[in-house]
Structures are given as C-alpha cells and as structure tokens.
Structure 1
Amino acid sequence: MATGWAGDGAVQDQIDATVKDAIKRARSRLPQGPGLERCEECDAPIPEARRKAVPGVRLCIECQQAQDEAETGSGGYNRRGSKDSQLR
C-alpha cells in the first residue's frame, strides 16, 4: 500500500541504489594492474605473495597498516549511545 507520493517499494529501491553506488565507489578505489616490487612510501621490498594476493599493491604491510589507521582514526565511537555523544 503506497502512501503519499512514493510508489510501492520506492524506499527499498532507494536503499538498493544507495548500496549499489557505495559498492561501485569502493571498487573504484581498489588498486588495479600490476603491483609494485618496492613500497612507494619506504622503499621496502613487497613480497611476491602479497603482490599476487593484492592486485595493484603499492605499499608494504607496515605502511598499509599505518595508512589504514590514519584513514580510520578514532572517531570517538560511543557504544553506550549516550545523549551527549548523539549531540556532537
């Protein structure tokens, strides 16, 4: 049963489109092509097993971990869900 201006399933269609866009965006950020033999940050050798496992790899494990931690950061996730955390 549709209410208002939205047709049946319109909300689900919007959710599906949002998920598809997020997947497409995430896949576009994945490295592609041949991987580097040496890390572009610290010039350490990248093992062949890592180059085979991660297509287009550009960083050694240590530099990749540092980059991932910097991107993630500590967002101050409050598991208790207190009112103060929701106001920020």
Structure 2
Amino acid sequence: MAVGWSRDGAVQDQIDATVEEAVERARSRLPAGESLTHCEECEAEIPEARRKAVPGVHLCVRCQSEREKKQRPASGFNRRGSKDSQLK
C-alpha cells in the first residue's frame, strides 16, 4: 500500500485520462459528412467501397497514405513527465 500525497488509484486515474484524451484526439481527426467521389489532391476516383467504409473521406488511398507518412507520430506522454515513470 503506497502512502503519500496522492490517493489510492490516482496513478490509474492519470493513465485512464491520458488514454481517453488520446481516443478523443483520434476521433476528432476522423472524417465526417459526405464522401467525395474524387480525391481532393489528385482528382483520382475514390472507389465506392472506400466511400462506404470511411464516411466523409476526401482523399484516395495513395494520397491518404502519403499524408499520414508526413504527419508526426504522437509521442508517448504521461502526466508524470516520463514514459517509464510508472515502471519504477
């Protein structure tokens, strides 16, 4: 049983909050609305199967892949400041 400044379960609450924030951030980046029939960037036709699978899609698979490669990956971050702070 740990004693100190935080109550029991505080570390798990921090982990849960971090996961919830990451999920919300990911959901906010999902496309919404009506899908386009042609890609915004290259004008290639977007297959109907993709339009149905990803509502609100605006890019073809190739352009979407290229865009994702350019984006920085989200770094692991927890509220205590260090990835391994909870492993000690």
TM-score by length of 2: 0.76
1:72 positional shift: 4.8
Match of 1:41 in 2: 41
Partner AA of 2:20 in structure 1: K
1:22-79: CA deviations, max 9, x gaps? 1011101100111111100011111111100111101011111111111258xxxxxx
Partner AA of 1:23 in structure 2: V
Higher-Rg structure is 1
**Where in structure 1 are there 5+ consecutive unaligned residues?**
74-88
**Where in structure 2 are there 5+ consecutive unaligned residues?**
74-88
* Runs of 4 or more above 4 Å deviation: none
Match of 1:62 in 2: 62
TM-score by length of 1: 0.76
Q: Which has the higher contact order (CA 8 A, sep 6+)?
A: 2
